[in-house]
Amino acid sequence: MIFAKMRKGGLLAVAIASLLAGPAFAKVTVLGWPGGPEETALRAAADAYNAKADVSAENKVELLFFNRDGFWDKLQADLAAGSKAFDANLLATYSIGRYAPFMEPVELSEEAKDVYGDSVLTTMQYEGKQYGVPTDLSLHFMYYRKDLIDALLKDDAAKAKFAEISEKHLGKKLEPKNPDEWTWDDYAATALYFTQAVNPDSPTRYGTVLQLKNLLFNMMVFQSLPRAYGGNWMDADGKITVSSDAYRKGLETYKLLYDAGATPRDSLSYEFAEANAAYASGQVAAMVQWNAAASDLTSKEKSPAVAETTATMAPPGGPEGRFTHIHGLGFGLNKNAENKEGAKAFIKWLSSKEAALIYAKNSGAPALTAEVVKEVAAERPDLVQLGEFASKYGYVMNGGTSAKALSVYELQAKEFTGYWSGQQSLDDTLKNTEKGMAELLK
């Protein structure tokens, strides 16, 4: 009797749990990026979509999230196994080629081009096809101490010292400039000037902080330097072009800064968090860092030593122009989706102006065109600079969305850090990288 009651109770509990856990009404399941502003923004967008009168009950959206750790590996395993657990899933620029065999191209709304612009849409393209809607964009800013640069620009004695240092280390006399006019040489000269190992009178211990850990994301930060000198992964014919003067220049500049002590000695183990901590200490004059760091580095609570004196600019330029590496997060269509039509409709709507504005107002980081961003500029001033830099300076390397893009970054991370740490010559580094990339991108 007791057992029968327990069994009944158990069945009831299972039924209730299934109702709560399962998609009670939602028929379009979307796998999102958990635990950050992206989740908040996606929830807001999904709520708005579900509230629309023309979205039928069976096409309403339900969101799924799992842990960030190992997210891409788990997603790859799920997709490869033909999972039907989600209809639409998160996608990143550098992993599109990897996931493309398990996904389907999508059709965006007619407004998409006007909302995001061409360069941002390319972050979700693979072999000429659109695989997703770019909801969040990441690029790089030059963060610098405005107080220090302003003081340098006003001080004649400091300018003379600056010229002396630049001539000694870079082989040419340079004058201090406003960061908006910096080339990579100006940045290097400024970094050296603000380094106590080079200039004992420097108010900061280090002129810059480089993220040199053997990590693929650090290679994304680095790419804009060779790109400004014309560097690319491969040419239009698919020939690997990494063994070039542009990459040579980029790698040598980093090595020069590391060897001169312009960046902490432990930079070879630094990534995003370590670089931020170094800059926030007030002992670093300038650094290239992801835009995601802006809110922390300009927050008086989180970075009291630098918040009020930090300004942001696009990374420096070179003979070929000024560039910032962009990569995006977005949403695409699972080839094995159970509700393909519903998922397509949601993705299409997500690329509309209406959805982009909702996403932007709720902590998301879409790179919007100047016309569209105006509408959220008061609430999200940071998005103005994001959109501007993305459309003016944003680029994706040739092959940057290929199936092996992640592996290329991994290869570069290993080879380049090997050179910066003095374990191999520049020639060997470029030779090994070119050989490895040719193998990966063939």
Partner 1 sequence: MTTLTQRAPFSEFKQLATPLVLFLLVFLGFPAIVNLVYSVSDVTFENLRHPQVSGFANFASVWNDASFWQASWFSLRFGLLTALLECALGLFLAIFLSPLIERRSWLMAILMLPLMVAPALVGLMYRLVLHEFVGPVPYYLWTWFGASFSFLGPASAFWTLIVVETLQWTPFALLLFYMAYQAIPKEIVEASAMDGARYRHRLWYIELPLMAPTIVVALLIRFIDGFRVFDNVYVLTGSGPGGSTASLSIYIYEAFFKQGAIGKAVAASVILFVVSFAVLYGLNYLANRRKGAIR
Footprint of partner 1 (CB under 8 A): 73, 76-77, 79-81, 98, 101-102, 205, 212-216, 264-266, 268-269, 274, 277-278, 280-281, 283, 403-404, 406-407, 410-411, 414-415, 417-424
Residue type at position 387: G
Distances (CA, A) of 275 to 6, 155, 209, 282, 439: 57, 29, 6, 12, 33
Q: Both tokens of residue 274? A: 């370590």
Going through 221-355 in order, the beta strands assigned E by DSSP cover 284-290, 310-313, 317-318, 321-322, 324-325, 327-334
Q: What are the residue ranges of helices labelled H in 100-174?
A: 112-116, 118-121, 146-154, 156-170
Nearer to partner 1, 229 or 419 (CB): 419
Question: Which CB sits closer to partner 1, 24 or 277?
Answer: 277
Complex with partner 1: residue 56 or 423, whichever CB lies closer = 423
Rank residues 318 and 399 by Cβ distance to partner 1 and give the closer one.
399
Q: Give the start-end residues of each E strand in 362-428.
A: 394-395
Extract the tokens encoding 361.
């107002």
Of 426, 178, 220, 406, nearest to 323 by C-alpha is 220
> In Å, how far from its chain's centre is CA 380?
18
Which residues partner with 395 through β-bridges? 325
Nearer to partner 1, 76 or 241 (CB): 76
Q: Give whichever of 87 and 415 is closer to partner 1, judged by the CB atom.
A: 415
Q: What is the DSSP letter of 396?
A: -
Give the burial string for 17-29 (b: 16+ CB within 10 Å, else e). Answer: eeeeeeeeebbbb
Report the residue number, 199 or 214, with the smaller CB distance to partner 1.
214
- Amino acid at site 71: F
Q: How far is the CB of 68 from partner 1 (least distance, A)?
A: 15
User: Which residue lies nearer to partner 1 by CB, 19 or 81?
Assistant: 81
68: Cα separation from own chain's centroid: 16
Q: At its nearest, how many Å lie between partner 1 and the CB of residue 44?
A: 32
Q: Is 62 helix (H, G, I), strand (E, B) or coil?
A: strand
Query: Within a 10 A sphere around the Cβ of 362, how many other Cβ atoms?
Result: 18
Closest distance to partner 1 from the beta carbon of 213 (Å): 6
Judged on CB neighbours under 10 Å (0-12, 13-18, 19+), 244 is middle
Q: Which amino acid type is present at position 108?
A: L
* Closer residue to partner 1 in complex, CB, 84/374: 84
* Token digits of residue 51: 């509230």
Q: Which is closer to partner 1, CB of 138 or CB of 195?
A: 195
Q: Is the distance from CB of 247 to CB of 231 less than 8 angstroms?
A: yes
Q: Roughly what angle, to the nearest 10 degrees, separates helices 146-154 and 184-193?
A: 90
- CB-wise, 267 or 312, nearer to partner 1? 267
d(CA 304, CA 288): 20
Residues 6+ apart with CB under 8 A from 157: none
Name the DSSP letter for residue 287.
Answer: E
